[in-house]
Chain A
Amino acid sequence: MVPAEHALIVATILFCLGAIGVLVRRNFLFVLMAIEIMLNAAGLAFVAASGIHGQPDGQIFFLFILPVAAAEVAIGLALGVLLRLRYGTLDLWQIAQTRED
């Protein structure tokens, strides 16, 4: 049996990886994926905490996170399409530089 603390450590590592991905990635799609990783890290933490405390609240909360993530992906991808149409690229730095003043 893997101790629940280990799951929390994995969640932390995942969250940091996601955060770094959001900060350093230039491509919109990868940023979106990094955000997904951060969400799932938070979900893992909820489940792990649920196990530690022996209560179901954390697992129920994860069920709420799932549709939030799905909605986020749907909106994010739609935004991505629009960005591509408008700027011809998904490079976020480039888009930031061609902002309309």
Chain B
Amino acid sequence: MIYADGTPMVWPIPAFALLGAVVIFVFSRWWAPRTAGKIACTAVGISFLWTLVVAAHLLGSGARQLAIHEPLWTWLSGAGPVDAKIGFYVDRLALVFAIIVSGVGWLIHLYSYAYMEGDEGERRFFGYLNLFVFSMLTLVMADNAFFMFLGWEGVGACSFLLIGHWYQKSENCAAAQKAFLVTRLGDVFLILGILICALLVGVDYTNLVGFDKVRELPQVDAFGHLSGKTVLLIAGLFLLAGAAGKSAQLPLQVWLPDAMAGPTPVSALIHAATMVTAGVYLIARFHQLFVQVPELMAAVALVGVLTAFYGATCAIVQTDIKRVLAYSTISQIGYMILGLGVGAFSLGVFHFFTHAFYKALLFLAAGTVIHSLHGEQNIFNMGGLKRFLPRTYLAFLAGAASLAGFPLVTAGFFSKDGILWSALTTQFGSVPIYLLGLFTALLTAIYSFRLVFIVFFGEQRKEIHPHAPSSLLEWPVMILALFAVVAGYLNLPHAFGGGAWWEHFFEPVFKEAEARPLVHDGAKELLAAGASGLLALVGIAAAWKLYGPPARRIVPEPVIAAGEIQNDTPAPYKSPLANLLFAGWYFDRLYMRVFVRGFKLVATLANLVDNVIVDGFYELVALIVRGFHALLVFFQNGRTSRYALVMLFGAVAITTFALMWR
């Protein structure tokens, strides 16, 4: 599996995951349920190892070889611009994503092996999980946009299947369908954007540099003589809509909180670490397009920062531990998109990198908590778990600190601060965006430590006896916790005396598209970092004040019966503002009223038109035919006498006619 020139092949990376899925689907029915988990872990483990081999090769060869391009075969050809090939292209961007997908994916597989023990759908679960890893690896390693779209749809399908894993409960099925339909709306825009790109420059990633020539065109004939810049703007907005659908950005974010209906490892893998960041990958991959149009970059940044703010505000009042984390994911992906939108592509990807660790960690730790409490998800029924789950507590603390951006020692601090600094200082950034991002950072610190304080501190609330988790539930979490702390040092900024290794690592990918901060003042950068670090600390302190041990807590608890929290729970708080945030700014209600009911109204009207006008016409035709039929039946009844009668009438008629004629 190594080419003659020493380059490792890259197709085995997704192939092993696919092999695992196929083996599980075909053979595991004859084996013990546990075997499926073992196969799945092995398959993804080999994928991960091979990713590391490829990574070692690419890192070792440095500037001599920046990417491995591996065309395999042609899928569609000769259809004009739709010239789709199957092939892989692993540059440094794809490599980082592949490492996260297979590496974090592998840890989550190991965790799932313990978590899903005894579940009746264990084989199915691991088959889909492997299929997901395969699809996601295809998505990030494809060498053209069409092949990427295949992976894109594959992860959507696996997401649907895994959200609905416990399909016996109808809410889970509804959540799965909601996720599928909402992301599909984004996918429609995505394929439109890809088709426009195909017409402009083709879909191969190596052609994407051609966008700067398109911008110069005074008019593009294929698009009604619009100017090149306008066409690029349209294509970019379509791609942004596709990214928003998959990455749960405004206004298509409504599916992600409900997607928490799936098993917790699925939430960790698909709805936190990998699939939902596909939009980040998409925009980073098409950065050559996005940087051509400043308005497009502004739109991306705006979507990002608004979503970050939205997610943080909603997370602060949620009562289901997984929904807190879901809204937090929405918010953090908003940060990533913001980073891309202000031109700091490498930092957006860096935030993806750190977020994958700490958010997967938070989900897995939350899963351990839920597992230990026999399925309890309401944080107000937890409390005092620090004593029962000490290792999980430490891991969760590391994750929450990273999420909150605890200064200097966590990965989240460096990645988030880099984005905020870029939002302030690059050509695409502006002060309002920076301030909103900064305020969101404060909210992030509050909600992340709200979780820590409510879940792990204080007294035990309900008579639930936690049972100790197995070691396989703990040590993947510990590894992730390690990375959640140290991954940030990969991009230690110059102002902190670091080398900004990550940004240099991505220079060959983003080249001059990466917007450099226009301000090169170490003191100011330190000041900005200090401000966000201080805000994080203030947020943590505020969370302690607001949600610390109940004796000192000043925020009243929501009035919800234990374990009764559902998506459609009526307002649990006294304050209308808190209820608004709890319901996700009523986006669900709005969409329900506008789109679902609107659709039903249109469907009713269409049904009416169909029944009365369309069917009426055809029923009229049928009536005429039936009349003729009755006439024929009169003559053709099979009785000789009837035929004789008809003959007689005919004879009489002919005779009469003949006589009259004369």
- B-contacting residues of A (Cβ < 8 Å)? 19, 22-24, 92-93, 96-97, 99
Asked whether B644 lies within 8 Å of A23 as measured between CB atoms, the reply is yes
Instruction: Please give me the residue from chain B that is nearest to A96 by CB atom.
Output: B639
Residues on B with C-beta less than 8 A from A97 are 638
Other contacts beyond A24-B641, A96-B638: 11, CB < 8 A = A19-B648, A22-B641, A22-B644, A23-B641, A23-B644, A23-B645, A23-B648, A92-B640, A93-B639, A96-B640, A97-B638
Mark interface residues in B635-647 (1 if CB within 8 Å of A CB, else 0): 0001111001100
Instruction: Please give me the residue from chain B that is nearest to A26 by CB atom.
Output: B641
Residues on B with C-beta less than 8 A from A92 are 639-641
Residues on B with C-beta less than 8 A from A96 are 638-640
Instruction: Please give me the residue from chain B that is nearest to A19 by CB atom.
Output: B648
Closest chain-B Cβ to A40's Cβ sits at a distance in Å of 18
Q: How far is the CA of A96 from the CA of B644 in the complex (A)?
A: 14
Main secondary structure of the interface of A (DSSP, over half): helix
Within 8 A of A (CB), among B629-662: 638-641, 644-645, 648
Q: How far is the CA of A97 from the CA of B641 in the complex (A)?
A: 13
Q: How far is the CA of A19 from the CA of B640 in the complex (A)?
A: 13
Q: How far is the CA of A24 from the CA of B640 in the complex (A)?
A: 10
Q: How far is the CA of A24 from the CA of B645 in the complex (A)?
A: 9
Residues on B with C-beta less than 8 A from A22 are 641, 644
Closest chain-B Cβ to A86's Cβ sits at a distance in Å of 16
Closest chain-A Cβ to B647's Cβ sits at a distance in Å of 10
Closest chain-A Cβ to B648's Cβ sits at a distance in Å of 6
Interface-central residue, B638, B640, B644, by most chain A CB under 10 Å = B640
- For the complex, count residues of B whose C-beta is within 8 A of A: 7
Q: How far is the CA of A9 from the CA of B645 in the complex (A)?
A: 22
Q: How far is the CA of A30 from the CA of B648 in the complex (A)?
A: 18
- A-contacting residues of B (Cβ < 8 Å)? 638-641, 644-645, 648
Q: How far is the CA of A101 from the CA of B641 in the complex (A)?
A: 20
Interface pairs (17), CB distance under 8 Å: A19-B648, A22-B641, A22-B644, A23-B641, A23-B644, A23-B645, A23-B648, A24-B641, A92-B639, A92-B640, A92-B641, A93-B639, A96-B638, A96-B639, A96-B640, A97-B638, A99-B638
Residues on A with C-beta less than 8 A from B644 are 22-23
Q: How far is the CA of A23 from the CA of B265 in the complex (A)?
A: 87
Residues on A with C-beta less than 8 A from B639 are 92-93, 96
Q: How far is the CA of A93 from the CA of B589 in the complex (A)?
A: 72
Closest chain-B Cβ to A45's Cβ sits at a distance in Å of 13
Residues on A with C-beta less than 8 A from B638 are 96-97, 99
Interface-central residue, B641, B645, B648, by most chain A CB under 10 Å = B641
Closest chain-A Cβ to B638's Cβ sits at a distance in Å of 6
Residues on B with C-beta less than 8 A from A93 are 639
Closest chain-A Cβ to B133's Cβ sits at a distance in Å of 65
Q: How far is the CA of A23 from the CA of B642 in the complex (A)?
A: 7
Q: How far is the CA of A99 from the CA of B638 in the complex (A)?
A: 9
Q: Which 7 A-B pairs have the closest CB atoms?
A: A23-B641, A23-B645, A96-B639, A22-B644, A96-B638, A19-B648, A23-B644
Q: How far is the CA of A99 from the CA of B648 in the complex (A)?
A: 24
Residues on B with C-beta less than 8 A from A19 are 648
Instruction: Please give me the residue from chain A that is nearest to B638 by CB atom.
Output: A96
Q: How far is the CA of A66 from the CA of B641 in the complex (A)?
A: 25
Q: How far is the CA of A71 from the CA of B644 in the complex (A)?
A: 21
Instruction: Please give me the residue from chain B that is nearest to A16 by CB atom.
Output: B648
Residues on A with C-beta less than 8 A from B640 are 92, 96
Closest chain-A Cβ to B655's Cβ sits at a distance in Å of 12
Q: How far is the CA of A59 from the CA of B644 in the complex (A)?
A: 28
Residues on A with C-beta less than 8 A from B645 are 23
Residues on A with C-beta less than 8 A from B648 are 19, 23
Q: How far is the CA of A93 from the CA of B641 in the complex (A)?
A: 9
Q: How far is the CA of A19 from the CA of B647 in the complex (A)?
A: 11
Instruction: Please give me the residue from chain A that is nearest to B637 by CB atom.
Output: A96
Closest chain-A Cβ to B646's Cβ sits at a distance in Å of 10
Closest chain-B Cβ to A15's Cβ sits at a distance in Å of 10
Instruction: Please give me the residue from chain B that is nearest to A99 by CB atom.
Output: B638
Closest chain-A Cβ to B644's Cβ sits at a distance in Å of 6
Closest chain-B Cβ to A29's Cβ sits at a distance in Å of 15
Closest chain-A Cβ to B659's Cβ sits at a distance in Å of 14
Interface-central residue, A22, A24, A97, by most chain B CB under 10 Å = A22
Q: How far is the CA of A96 from the CA of B638 in the complex (A)?
A: 7
Q: How far is the CA of A23 from the CA of B645 in the complex (A)?
A: 6
Closest chain-A Cβ to B645's Cβ sits at a distance in Å of 5
Q: How far is the CA of A23 from the CA of B647 in the complex (A)?
A: 11
Instruction: Please give me the residue from chain B that is nearest to A24 by CB atom.
Output: B641
Q: How far is the CA of A15 from the CA of B641 in the complex (A)?
A: 16
Closest chain-B Cβ to A20's Cβ sits at a distance in Å of 10
Q: How far is the CA of A22 from the CA of B639 in the complex (A)?
A: 12
Instruction: Please give me the residue from chain A that is nearest to B641 by CB atom.
Output: A23
Q: How far is the CA of A86 from the CA of B645 in the complex (A)?
A: 26
Residues on B with C-beta less than 8 A from A23 are 641, 644-645, 648
